[in-house]
Structure 1
């Protein structure tokens, strides 16, 4: 029995290869997330020449998130129907590489928006497949740990990506940054192509039986993830504004952006293990509750050091929410149609990535600097209440699946 339990706690080595491959791609994603809001200041708009820079930053980030969110449910259902994951991952990485190169050749704002839309579609097509592969490399008793490890690796890449983006932009320019992103995407593609095999769905009938409570819980979790990402991404519309208000350099702003991800990736695996042991819902509620005052504080920072501290606290909040939400969604799916089920969560995450900068850009550009932070905090309080009343955790699910391997 002890040996069986020990085997059940082991993770498939391919999980680590997949996680490392995503580290390189999301390092490039982090670089782009930092560079593009600053790069579009140098572009001109054909249709709206007088558009404020803060609105341009919000739009260009929003377009990527919207098309990312749009493509995920479609690709998730198609992935489940074909019972294939790897082709979707390769397609997404190829699209990321191509768009990263093309940024170097566009100087019109609308062209940047078009490229972000294309990149959003291709990258979004890969997300449900990747999450499904991660769950296939784990069991219900190790799911939180597996998702934590994967999320930590890709999040670490994203976090230092912002810092690398600041260094590259300062000393080498935007073109070098875009080509670097393409190279990192190529590394990721080669690792997946040659070292990660295909995976297939497993049906966990017992878990499905325990959690046959309808789709409302998925919607509640998706809404919570959406609001969390709005609170995280809202500051990207304000990077040019923070640069002026705080009299900070591009490098110091990149450190503030990176502080969130460094904190998050440091804590995601421990949070995943805690969710395996003590339950998912409790950690989700703690993260939502703590993020309310943190988001409000972002509207009143007077020094870049304060911004760095608040972003680090947001990393703690996100670690407490993201990993348990993903693990709980897979538990509720019961191992069946994982890509389609999880896509409701990941597409909501992408939509939050999109609407966060848009909310910040529109309210900050046309109402007041602090208004978007108040709106976001209020929405987060609503999501907290929704999770409390609508989500019921499957307490027995973590003890059912003892098969440690998937092929």
Structure 2
């Protein structure tokens, strides 16, 4: 069996319901990640009216900063991450209370897709802000409910890690390759549809520029995801067992300082920050390594590629040998793989370090979700697992802002701070999180 066969076989052999959910999330992730590439280009193209915004200032006293185009782009991109992550505990709790996951998933996907389509009409900045905020709320409705359903589809603890590995593989594949497809779509425009007998599209001539094509493709991807979930995904009996107990986030543990799920949530915030530090520093990295921009794209994707390759094998191994060894190994690897990004001086070594960081995430994240799933009581998967999904999303939103601020003090500084956070995450896991699955033969 070839390499591709060995990678695909564990996924094909997994729970088909999880594969369907993963496929739906992959299609949705492709459409949503389109916008990571498209929105900055769209704002910079001059189509979006920024009159009255540029040249102003925000902040107070010494903290006052000028309003620039990059700042406006950064705000509209970060808004999605912050609203998404901070809303997840509430939407996860609502799905627990309702005793249903599917309606939340469908509502969230519909909101994401509709907002993507409405971008074709957005010609001022504040409309973009409103649509991006709506997408953040849509993702918040979807993610906790999807993760809870993946947890509930596990027949027992011995399948939970593999389920999360399969699901995350599909999701990350969509997230990683969506921006590449977006670049192709934007560069390929405009598209003349008159040859297909179409005279107008959404009230406009049948010539669609690259931006509108990308927005409509993102919308179509979301609604394809909606159709997959509507026809093939159903709630379980465990979903219907809504909890009558308090499902608020527990901070303190019974016999230790922190609740283990909360400790994992904090560690996941640190992991998200470490992964996302790289995103803001394209110009500095290309100059430091004397590399072409294509190298940065490959290095950026390396974390996702490593995750796609290792998520399922790690999840399956965690079901057999226990969660904690892989969890600890992941955070141990996260420390040097983050710090070394501020030290290496060649494109190839940066690629190797980024691949190592991707392996670290693959070792840490599926076992973290599996531990939270093991701990979650019946009917509480949404609120319990949302602590981790919120943590990673919050970290990914904070990371670019952190590196953009700290790089002014030296190129290595953001990565040194990230490595320090990774050490703190490792200590939290070592001291606050115990094994939830006995070692089996």
Query: What is the total number of aligned residue pairs between the two structures?
Result: 382
Q: Aligned in 2, Cα 1:241/1:213: closer, same or farther, shift over 3 Å?
A: same
- Equivalence for 2:100: 84
Contact 1:57 1:361 in 2 (8 A): no
Residues 1:66 and 2:104 are matched in the alignment: no
Q: Distance in 1 between matches of 2:211 and 2:293?
A: 12
> Residue in 2 aligned with 1:103?
119
- Please give the per-residue CA displacement for 1:202-256, whole angstroms capped at 9, x wherever unaligned: 78xxxxxxx9768611111001111111111222222455466667666544333
1:232-283 superposed Cα distances (whole Å, 9 cap, x missing partner): 1222222455466667666544333222211101100000011111111221
Alignment partner of 1:166: what SS? helix
Within a 5 Å distance, the mapping from 1:289-300 to structure 2 comes to 289-300=332-343
Q: Does 1:21 align with 2:24?
A: yes
- 1:370 is matched with which residue: 403, 408, 412? 412
Distance 1:304 1:243 in 2: 9
Q: Distance in 2 between matches of 1:301 and 1:33?
A: 27
Q: Which of these residues, 105, 109, 131, is aligned with residue 115 of structure 1?
A: 131
Aligned to 1:199, which of 212, 233, 236? Answer: 236
Provide, for residues 318-367 of structure 1, a one-character-per-residue CA deviation record: whole Å limited to 9, x for no partner.
10011000001010114441111111111111111211112122223x54
Q: Output aligned runs, 1:345-364, within 5 Å.
A: 345-364=388-407
Q: Deviations over 1:150-195 (max 9, x none)?
A: 1111111111223223333444444433322222111111100111
More helix by percentage: 1
CA–CA distance in structure 1, aligned partners of residues 353 and 125 of structure 2 = 31
Secondary structure at 2:227's aligned position in 1?
helix
Asked if 1 retains the 8 angstrom alpha-carbon contact of 2:322 and 2:439, the reply is no
Matched, 1:180 2:217: yes
Partner of 1:165: 182
RMSD of aligned residue pairs (Cα, Å): 2.8
After superposition, what is the alpha-carbon deviation per residue over 1:108-144, rounded to whole angstroms, capped at 9, x for unaligned? 5554343322211111111111011111211211100
The equivalent position to 2:423 in structure 1, one of 381, 391, 394, is 381
- 1:201 Cα deviation from its structure 2 partner: 2.2
Equivalent residue for 2:367, pick from 324, 328, 340: 324
Residues 29/216 of structure 1: CA separation in 2 closer, same or farther (3 Å cut) = same
Q: State how 1:192-341 maps to structure 2 within 5 Å.
A: 192-201=229-238, 216-239=259-282, 241-242=284-285, 251-300=294-343, 302-341=345-384
**Bigger radius of gyration among the two:** 2
**How far is 1:79 from its partner?**
0.5
The aligned residue for residue 169 of structure 2 is 152
Counterpart Cα distance in 2 of 1:284 and 1:104: 43
Quick one: distance in 1 between partners of 2:353 and 2:184?
A: 22
Task: With a CA cutoff of 8 Å and minimum separation of 6, indicate the structure with the bigger relative contact order.
Answer: 1
Structure 1: gaps of 5 or more residues:
1-9, 204-210, 400-407
- Indicate if the aligned counterparts of 1:63 and 1:116 stay in contact, CA closer than 8 A: yes
Moved more, 35-44 or 148-157: 35-44
Q: Is the 8 A contact 2:101 2:145 kept in 1?
A: yes
Give the deviation of 1:294 after TM superposition.
1.7
- TM-score after normalising by structure 1: 0.84
Gaps (5+ residues) in structure 2?
A: 1-12, 56-65, 190-209, 242-252
Residue 288 and residue 154 in structure 1: after superposition, are their counterparts in 2 closer, same or farther (change >3 A)? same
